[in-house]
Amino acid sequence: MRSAFSRSNLVKTLAGGYVPLVLATLIVFLPLAWMALSSFKTPGEIVTTDLRILPQQLYTQNYAEATTTVPFGRFFLNSAIVTFVGSAIKVALAILTAYALVFVRFPFKNAIFVLILVALMVPPQVAILPNYVLIAGMGGKNTLWGIILPGLGTAFGTFLLRQHFKTLPASILEAAELDGAGHWRRLWRIVAPVSLPSIATVALVTIVNEWNDYIWPLIITDRPETMTLPVGLTLLQNSEGNTGSGWGILMAGAVLVILPVLVVFAMLQRYIVAGLTQGSVSN
């Protein structure tokens, strides 16, 4: 069925197929390549009207300056902690809630599911002011727990795993029930192991979102000690200005934020794409 548009003329397809394909890839690739190349250029190579594509030599001073002008190591550590702790808890909560919604008897499950669907459509941006008032009132400003806590409840992960758990054959659980296995053992010995691809999808999407999260950490931190990488990059932007020689340093900072996600994506893109385009395949 893929050939429907193309079988008539293979040569035409090759000419018509490759050019748009290469073009689309280049449009994505070139800005990122420009970022990487510029991060190795000297200020003199950036503040110039005689632009060269490749850097004259591998000038690493931009990285040194990006990581010393602002406490980049601290930002990196904060981002790693927030991402790791936040994602681990979120995924665990999603697994537990989805299991309970599918396999444990409870009277108001449909009403609870509707509340989760409502939460799914509330963007975090709409909730920031009330959450700021609450967390700041609890003393959570400029703390890592203040960054992590409001995002821990997970409607997305619960929704996605619930949909998957519902497709599991009831027979495997009935067998376990006969063996006298309780819910806890049934979850971790049967349901979770056979659902690993779905759990991996939820985990990866959660990790990427936590790492990139911007608006909430931006609002709840104003001291460098607790800033995450994207917020720290804003601080770097403010101190380097947006013109002239600062660009090399800012591109080095952008590489440090973008590269980890790009590497994870390159390795595990199948799961990430599947998770982020969920919902579209069901119709």
Partner 1 sequence: MTKLDLDRPQPAVVARAPRTRPRWSLRSRRDFLVFLAMALPNLALIAVFTHRPLLANLQYSTLDWTLGASTARVVGLANYVDFFTSDDAPRVLGTTAAFTLFTVGLSMVLGLLVALALNSKVRGTTFARSAVFAPYVLSGVGVGLVWMFIFDPGYGVLAWVLRGLGQSSPQWFNDPQLALTMVTIVYVWKNLGYCAVVYLAGLQSLPGDVMEAAELDGAGSARRFWSIALPLLSPTTFFLLITTILSSLQAFDLIRIMTPLGTGTSTLIYEAYLQAFGAYNRAGYSAAISVILFAILLIVTVVQIRFVERKVHYS
CB of 82 to partner 1, least distance (A): 14
Min separation Cβ 87 and partner 1, Å: 14
String of contacts with partner 1 for each residue 91-120, x by CB under 8 A: --xx-xx-xxx--xxxx----xx-xxxxx-
8 Å CB contact between 72 and 66 = yes
Which listed residue (28, 54, 58, 111) binds partner 1 by CB under 8 A?
28
Is residue 258 part of the contact set for partner 1 (CB under 8 A)? Answer: yes
Residues 6+ apart with CB under 8 A from 61: 42
Q: According to CB under 8 A, which one of 87, 203, 253, 271 is a site residue for partner 1? A: 253
Helix axes 155-165 and 72-103, enclosed angle (nearest 10)? 40
Min separation Cβ 246 and partner 1, Å? 10
Per-residue binder mask for partner 1 (CB under 8 A), 196-225, x = binder = ------------x--xx-xx--xx------
DSSP-H helix ranges across the chain: 10-38, 43-46, 61-69, 72-103, 109-121, 124-137, 144-148, 155-165, 170-178, 183-186, 192-194, 196-212, 215-220, 229-240, 246-276
Between CA 98 and CA 104 the distance in angstroms is: 10
- With contacts defined by CB under 8 A, name the span among 9-17, 57-65, 66-74, 191-199 that binds partner 1: 9-17
Q: 200: closest CA among 208, 155, 77?
A: 208
Residues 39-98 that bind partner 1 (CB under 8 A): 46-49, 51, 93-94, 96-97
* Residue recorded with tokens 């110039």: 48
CB of 137 to partner 1, least distance (A): 11
- Is residue 192 a contact point for partner 1 (CB under 8 A)? no
Between the alpha carbon of residue 11 and those of residues 3, 8, 14, 18, 24, the distances in Å are 13, 9, 5, 11, 20
Are 79 and 211 spatial neighbours (Cβ–Cβ below 8 Å)?
Answer: yes
Interface with partner 1, residue 125, by CB under 8 A: yes
Residues 228-247 that bind partner 1 (CB under 8 A): 229-230, 233-234, 237, 242-244, 247
Q: At its nearest, how many Å lie between partner 1 and the CB of residue 32?
A: 7
Minimum separation from the CB atom of position 9 to partner 1 (A): 9
